[in-house]
C-alpha cells in the first residue's frame, strides 16, 4: 500500500505535465483534400464554370497558389504527398502494381493485361516496384509519432497487392475507401473499411458522399475521445476521375452550360483568369491541338452530346464542393475550423487519354447508376486553360495544379484572397505539415537510411513572405517527361525529344521555346537535372518503360 501511494505521488507530476501539455496543444489540425484528374481551371476561384462556393470561400479567406506543381499522374503525386520524397525514392517510379492477379500468362510473357508475371518482379529496380517501400516513413506515421490522430477516406492507389501496403499498415488509424486507382461511383469494387472488404450500403449510394460522411464520423469520434490532440485527415476524392458518373440532380444543373464550346469558353476563361490575377496579362492561349476540331465544325447533335459529357464532369466536381461544405460546417460546429489547415489540390492536370470526343453513350449520361467513361481531349483542353498538354506530361497542363490553403488562425486576415506567385511543389507541402505538427523524418528506419526531403516548408510563405520558396532548381519526372524549374526558367521535355526552355514570367503557356537562344541555361539546368535524377533513382524511360505495369 505504501509502495502504491509513493508510486502515485512520484508519477502525479508526470501525469499532470502530460495533461497540461495536451491541453495547451496549439498545433493545427491538417486536412489534405486531393481531387483526381481535375484541370487547373475548372473551379470558380481559378476562373472555371463549376459552382464551387465552398472552395471559393476557402480561397477568399485564405490563399491561392498560381505556380504549384504536382507530379503529373495519380500514383506519383500520392507517393510524394504521403512521404515528402520523390516517387522514385519511394518505389513508385512509375505506377502501382494492380490488385488483380495475372490470368494464365504464356511462358516467358513479360506482361499480361494490367499485371506482371512473378518472374518480372525479380528484375524490377525497387524505384519502380509499384508500392511504397516499407521502410520509407509515411506522413501519417510521422504525424502519429508526434501525437496526431490520423484518418483517411477515399482513393489510396499506393499498393494493394500486399496487406502490408494498405493504409492502416502505413500509419492511418482509420480508413474507408478503395485501394485501387479507380472505382465505380455507384457500386464501387475494391471498397474497404479498415482492412475489411465491404459492399456499398444505402439507397442512392455515391462514393463522393460516402467518403465525406465517413470522414466526418472519424472526426466526430476524434472530438469525443481525443479532443486534446490534433488530427490529420487525408480526404482523397476519386472525382472527377473516370468513369464519369454523377448524381442526376447535379447533372441537370449543368446541361446546356457548355454549348458555346471549347474554343469560345477557353478564350473567355483566360480573360477571367487575367482579371483575377491568376496569370500575367501577357499570357496567351496554347494552340488547340490539331486532333481537336474547331467547335463550330461540329453538327448540332454532336454539340449536344459533348455538352452532356462535360456537364457530367462538372457535376462531379460540384458534388465534391457540396461535400466539402458538409465537412467545413462540421469543423465549424465542433470549434475546430479556425485552427485547421485545409489544403485543396489536384493530383494532375485534366486527362486526355481518349480521342477528341471521349468515350461514352449519350443516353446513359445523367442517369443514376450509369454514366460515361471519358470526356475527351477537347474538354481536357478547356480544363487546362491556358496551358499545353495534359495528365502524364510535364508541360504546364500536366503538372500545374490549383492549390487553395485555408487556416484562419495561421494566415493573417490581411492576406486573405492573396495569390502566391512563388513556384513550389508537392514536397513543400509535406515539409510544411511536418513543421506545423512538430514531426520529423528519421534518418534511419529498419536499419536503412532514409533520403532527406528536398521540399521547403511553406510556413513563411503562408505568413506573407514574398521571398522565393526555392533558391535552387527543383525537378519532376514521369514516364520520361521531365522538368527543371529554376526561378522564372522552366526546362521541359517529352521523353523522346530535346529540352525546351521557357521564361514563364513572359510566357506562362509555353509558346516560345528559348532553348536555342540560351544554350548556357539549358546546359546548366540539364546538368542539375541529371545529378538529381541519379540521386533520386530515376532511370531513363527507354529502359524504365520495360517496368511498365500496363500492357505495352
Determine the pLDDT at residue 161.
79
Helix (H, G, I), strand (E, B) or coil at 155: strand
DSSP letter for 374, please: B
pLDDT digits (tens, 9 = 90+) for 411-465: 999 999 999 999 999 999 999 999 999 999 999 998 999 999 999 999 999 999 9
Residue 309 confidence (pLDDT) above 50: yes
Instruction: Judge contact between 356 and 293, C-beta under 8 A.
Output: yes
Instruction: Measure the CA–CA gap between 425 and 446, rounded to whole angstroms.
Output: 29
Per mean pLDDT, which range of 80-89, 322-331, 540-549 is the poorest?
Answer: 540-549
Nearest of 444, 441, 475, 476 to residue 457 by alpha carbon: 441
Determine the pLDDT at residue 200.
95
Neighbours of 531 (CB within 10 A): 12
Instruction: Please state, rounded to an integer, the average pLDDT across all residues of the chain.
Output: 92
The terminus-to-terminus CA distance of the chain in angstroms comes to 74
What is the CATH code for 27-99+106-547?
A: 3.40.720.10
DSSP 158-173: S--SSGGGSGGGGT-S
Residue 20 confidence (pLDDT) above 60: no
Beta bridge partners of 331: none
Mean pLDDT of 198-205: 94
pLDDT digits (tens, 9 = 90+) for 222-259: 999 998 999 999 999 999 999 999 999 999 999 999 99
Instruction: Judge contact between 36 and 74, C-beta under 8 A.
Output: yes
Residue 375 confidence (pLDDT) above 60: yes
User: C-alpha cell of 480?
Assistant: 520520361
The confidence band for 121, taking pLDDT boundaries of 50, 70 and 90, is low
Per mean pLDDT, which range of 112-116, 125-129, 320-324, 511-515 is the poorest?
Answer: 112-116
Residue 382 confidence (pLDDT) above 50: yes
Per mean pLDDT, which range of 164-168, 479-483, 541-545 is the poorest?
Answer: 541-545
Determine the pLDDT at residue 118.
58
DSSP letter for 476, please: E
Ordered alpha helix ranges (H), 123-281 = 139-145, 207-225, 248-252, 261-276
User: C-alpha cell of 415?
Assistant: 492576406
Pairing of strands 191-193, 474-478: unpaired
Residue 514 confidence (pLDDT) above 60: yes
Helix (H, G, I), strand (E, B) or coil at 379: helix
DSSP letter for 24, please: T
Neighbours of 494 (CB within 10 A): 17
The confidence band for 13, taking pLDDT boundaries of 50, 70 and 90, is very low
Mean pLDDT of 48-72: 98
Nearest of 250, 495, 533, 247 to residue 394 by alpha carbon: 495
User: C-alpha cell of 113?
Assistant: 493485361
Amino acid at each position: 500500500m505504501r509502495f502504491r501511494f509513493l508510486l502515485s505521488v512520484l508519477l502525479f507530476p508526470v501525469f499532470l505535465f502530460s495533461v497540461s501539455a495536451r491541453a495547451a496543444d496549439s498545433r493545427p489540425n491538417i486536412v489534405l483534400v486531393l481531387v483526381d484528374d481535375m484541370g487547373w481551371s475548372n473551379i470558380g476561384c481559378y476562373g472555371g464554370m463549376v459552382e464551387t462556393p465552398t472552395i471559393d470561400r476557402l480561397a477568399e479567406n485564405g490563399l491561392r497558389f498560381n505556380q504549384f506543381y504536382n507530379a503529373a499522374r495519380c500514383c506519383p503525386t500520392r507517393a510524394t504527398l504521403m512521404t515528402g520524397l520523390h516517387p522514385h525514392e519511394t518505389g513508385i517510379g512509375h505506377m502501382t502494381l494492380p490488385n488483380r492477379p495475372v490470368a494464365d500468362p504464356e511462358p516467358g510473357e513479360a506482361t499480361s493485361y494490367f499485371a506482371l508475371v512473378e518472374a518480372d518482379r525479380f528484375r524490377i529496380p525497387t524505384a519502380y516496384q509499384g508500392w511504397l517501400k516499407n521502410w520509407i516513413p509515411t506522413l501519417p506515421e510521422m504525424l502519429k509519432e508526434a501525437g496526431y490522430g490520423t484518418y483517411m477516406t477515399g482513393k489510396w492507389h499506393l499498393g494493394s497487392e500486399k496487406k502490408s501496403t494498405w493504409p492502416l499498415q502505413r500509419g492511418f488509424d482509420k480508413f474507408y475507401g478503395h485501394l485501387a486507382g479507380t472505382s465505380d461511383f455507384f457500386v464501387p469494387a475494391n471498397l474497404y473499411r479498415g482492412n475489411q472488404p465491404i459492399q456499398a450500403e444505402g439507397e442512392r449510394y455515391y462514393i463522393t458522399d460516402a467518403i465525406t460522411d465517413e470522414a466526418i464520423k472519424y472526426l466526430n469520434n476524434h472530438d469525443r475521445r481525443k479532443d486534446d490532440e490534433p488530427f490529420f485527415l487525408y480526404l482523397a476524392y476519386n472525382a472527377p476521375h473516370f468513369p464519369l458518373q454523377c448524381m442526376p440532380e447535379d447533372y441537370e444543373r449543368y446541361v446546356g452550360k457548355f454549348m458555346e464550346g471549347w474554343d469560345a469558353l477557353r478564350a473567355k476563361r483566360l480573360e477571367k483568369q487575367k482579371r483575377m490575377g491568376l496569370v500575367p496579362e501577357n499570357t496567351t492561349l496554347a494552340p488547340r491541338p490539331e486532333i481537336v476540331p474547331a467547335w463550330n465544325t461540329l453538327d448540332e447533335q454532336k454539340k449536344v452530346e459533348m455538352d452532356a459529357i462535360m456537364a457530367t464532369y462538372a457535376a462531379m466536381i460540384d458534388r465534391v464542393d457540396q461535400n466539402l461544405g458538409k465537412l467545413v460546417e462540421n469543423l465549424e460546429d465542433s470549434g475546430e475550423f479556425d485552427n485547421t489547415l485545409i489544403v485543396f489540390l489536384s493530383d494532375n492536370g485534366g486527362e486526355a487519354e481518349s480521342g477528341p470526343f471521349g468515350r461514352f453513350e449519350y443516353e446513359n449520361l445523367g442517369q443514376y447508376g450509369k454514366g460515361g467513361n471519358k470526356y475527351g481531349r477537347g474538354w481536357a483542353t478547356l480544363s487546362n486553360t491556358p496551358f499545353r498538354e495534359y495528365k502524364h506530361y510535364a508541360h504546364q497542363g500536366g503538372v500545374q495544379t490549383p492549390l487553395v490553403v485555408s487556416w484562419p488562425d495561421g494566415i493573417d486576415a490581411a492576406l486573405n484572397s492573396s495569390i502566391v506567385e512563388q513556384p513550389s511543389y508537392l514536397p513543400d507541402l509535406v515539409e510544411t505539415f511536418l513543421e506545423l505538427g512538430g514531426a520529423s523524418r528519421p534518418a534511419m528506419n529498419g536499419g536503412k537510411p532514409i533520403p532527406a526531403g528536398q521540399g521547403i516548408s511553406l510556413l513563411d510563405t503562408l505568413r506573407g513572405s514574398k521571398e522565393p520558396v526555392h533558391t535552387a532548381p527543383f525537378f519532376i519526372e514521369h514516364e520520361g517527361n521531365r522538368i527543371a524549374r529554376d526561378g522564372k526558367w522552366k526546362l521541359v521535355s517529352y521523353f523522346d525529344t530535346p529540352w525546351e526552355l521557357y521564361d514563364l514570367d513572359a510566357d506562362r503557356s509555353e509558346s516560345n521555346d528559348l532553348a536555342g537562344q540560351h544554350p548556357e541555361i539549358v546546359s546548366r539546368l540539364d546538368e542539375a537535372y541529371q545529378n538529381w535524377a541519379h540521386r533520386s533513382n530515376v532511370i531513363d524511360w527507354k529502359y524504365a518503360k520495360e517496368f511498365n505495369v500496363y500492357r505495352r
